Amino acid sequence: MFFDPMYFLIIAPAVLLGLWAQLRIRTTYAAAQQIAAPLSGAAAARYILDSAGLQNVSIEQIPGHLSDHYDPREKVLRLSPEVYQSRTLAAVGIAAHESGHALQDAHAYAPMLVRNAAVPVAGIGSNIGILLIILGAILHMNVMLIWLGIGLFGAVVFFQLVNLPVEFNASSQAKAQLVQLGILNEEQLGYVKKVLSAAALTYVAATLQAVLTLLYFIMRFTGGNRD
């Protein structure tokens, strides 16, 4: 099972989609970086949060490239230096997307609540689940270990599936807020849409790969087993 060509054939669509998504991100982000915006990423995020009454959500600069995220536990929006400081459409678009997650948190957006609850189990499933499947295969096809591993990996798939509407909704809120608050006009928003759409493709690719991997495990150790 460790070098099964069938596995690579099964996940090939997800891998190709992921590569295409990465290419799209690089090109759309580079293009949006070249166009000036009226506010920096941090200022745009602050404006969106304050307009929604979320003065309690702080904004911090953190190291890393595109390490931007919202921490619902600490109520902190963390932005990478190029997003925090830059006055470009790319920076504003990403900052607005992360602000969208803060709005979801404030409004108790159901998919986000489910996703946050699933994080610990998904973290276990992505590591221990695969390990149990491998151990089960090594130990003379130990069915209990294999299915326990498959069940844990299923938590990863569940997380990815729930994460999709969370990310898509955050982007939708970002685009709406940028126009409604007068931060960007429709022409400028077009560049932001391209960046956020490319980023969304990466989540779709990750979800597809998780689903196809789970299907491979199920086929490999059930009726599709070739041993």
Q: Would you please indicate which residues are annotated as catalytic (active-site) residues?
A: 98
Instruction: Count other C-beta atoms under 10 Å from residue 91's C-beta.
Output: 30
Contact between 93 and 33 (Cβ < 8 Å): no
Contact between 129 and 155 (Cβ < 8 Å): yes
What strands lie across the sheet with 76-79, from one edge to the other?
58-61, 76-79, 69-71
Both tokens assigned to 205: 């690719």
Measured CA to CA, the distance from residue 99 to residue 41 in angstroms comes to: 10
Contact between 178 and 211 (Cβ < 8 Å): no
Measured CA to CA, the distance from residue 171 to residue 166 in angstroms comes to: 9
Instruction: Count other C-beta atoms under 10 Å from residue 223's C-beta.
Output: 6
